[in-house]
Structure 1
């Protein structure tokens, strides 16, 4: 009997994997793929969070524990995210003192409305810069009884937008030459002060002043020197008047002031001091020195004044009376 020998070149037959082992191998390969895809998603999310120029945050409302804050926090606030995660007061302490009450109360409104989208307040960065934030916040889910209330939000740096808004407001309300309130803005504020004084029964004074012989100044020294006179008088007005008083340029060489809470005797003292300050201003053109004076009309609020117009009319009449009596004086009407 002859036994056939296998050819030496024939490879040994591989043992086929058992069904259970094959299933395990497939499961491991699937799990590895899921891990890789999860890692890719995490890397993408991390990249997106780094690039977003807004602070994403989440806080446990009951404990005030900050659960998450995005990388933009350190870029915008200039403060350590680790310190904030350790102590909620880091956020509170960064808010501008004048805006702190508003920021806290507006945040609390999210409990009643589920969302607050109109919060704007200022922060002070670690290096002392003042920045504006638009901070929208929401309750992130329907909270079941016993579950913590998680508030999430997005704080966006709107400093450049605010600066533009403030500049546009300044241009719309300010006399470009003297940097005082322009006529429209002055009378808007004056009417508000008038209504407030009437409602509270508080004193109010209206002062009107006109530069004496201003046409001669322009004709003799030129309009550039006349502009300098207007600027210097506006500076004197802002320097003499009290905080809370209104001052504006309402005509070519005519200025006005409203003095809230100022009784007649005090208003007269303010007007006289302003007149003296203006008369003491020294001007010079091509070696020639000159000074200017103003005629002022003063009117104080009475029960007969139903509108600001009546107060203005009395001040205007008193100012022209000052002109007739020789200029450089205050007449109370």
Structure 2
């Protein structure tokens, strides 16, 4: 029979060799489990599409950066670990000041979770990052101040937001501002002009006999005409002017800081641009004309709607007077 005491490792009768073997087996098990955890952690770091980083604030040294850095930034991690300026140099120039100020803000708040800025990757492409950072408030006195963070590539999200914004504010056919966006912007310029006492002019434009164009040449040719009108508007107007399609064949423009005399010159330039347009459909060539109504801000105007109404009335007056002309009101 086996001595029961030999089953107890604490028994004095437990052979020393057996104790040593048991300790070795236990140690090997711990090493194996540790190795498994390290492999799992390493696999997770490689698979996560975000950059984990650690930064010594006092020495300005990047202490750690995860493998995703080289995928997202397209730059060598070893260079970053040896020179903090590699991070600064990768930031889009217009965003550098914000990126540095928001990083320093973590010293006061303990965490900054709303940082978004652009970088230029190793291929010269612009990418958007959401870069959250934190400091350890439990660090003992005398310990280095370490900031840790996670930087996520949100380029696709930003591109989607930009596209949604474009769809929400742009007329799909002419790529001009749609009615809602045009009047939102026009109202902003109106309020600014009233506050600053600066001039402002409002223009309405309608294509003459547009129904005849659609009936004669088809709606596809009518769409082509609308697109060329929008192109003419972009070519003739000044930088900072607003231009949009606000109805079927109606367009509008706002000229901030533009006196009535200057606004008339812009309208005349637009009229000439449109008169030069030439269209060809099944061998038939045709041109188009437009009627325009123009007005300017007065002390009595309280909303943008009053300018819109006067410009619209002036435009219909141009129609009644024979079309292809500009009437001021």
**Do these two structures clear the TM 0.5 threshold for a shared fold by scoring above it?**
yes
* 2:42 maps to 1:46: yes
Residue-by-residue CA offset, 1:71-100 (whole Å, 9 max, x unaligned): 001001111111111222222222222333
Q: Which residue of 2 aligns with 1:169?
A: 165
Give 1:250's aligned residue.
Answer: 246
C-alpha RMSD of matched pairs (Å): 2.3
Larger radius of gyration: 1
Deviations 1:248-277 (A, max 9, x none): 100000001122222322222111111110
Question: Paired residue for 2:266, among 262, 270, 284?
Answer: 270
Q: CA deviation at 1:189?
A: 1.5
Q: Deviations over 1:37-79 (max 9, x none)?
A: 3222222111110000111111122332111111001001111
Q: Residue 321 of structure 2 is aligned with which of 318, 325, 328?
A: 325
Match of 2:275 in 1: 279
Structure 1: which 5+ residue stretches go unaligned? 1-15
Matches within 5 A, 1:1-333: 27=23, 29-333=25-329
- Give, in whole Å, the separation in 1 of the partners of 2:139 and 2:262: 61
Return the alpha-carbon distance in structure 2 between the equivalents of residues 74 and 250 of structure 1.
48
Rounded to whole Å, the distance in 2 between the matches of 1:227 and 1:123 is 40
Partner SS for 1:230: helix
Unaligned runs of 5+ in 2: 1-11
Compared CA separation, residues 21 and 163, structure 1 to 2 (3 A): same
- With normalisation by structure 1, the TM-score equals 0.88
Aligned 8 A contact 2:110 2:137 in 1? no
CA shift digits 1:155-177 (9 cap, x unpaired):
11122222222222222221111
For 1:63 and 1:101, the matched residues in 2 are separated by 20
2:5 is aligned to none
- Aligned positions, number: 318
Name the CA shift for 1:200/1:147 in 2 (closer, same or farther; >3 Å).
Answer: farther
**1:225-263 CA deviation, whole Å, 9 max, x = no partner?**
111000011111112222222211000000011222223
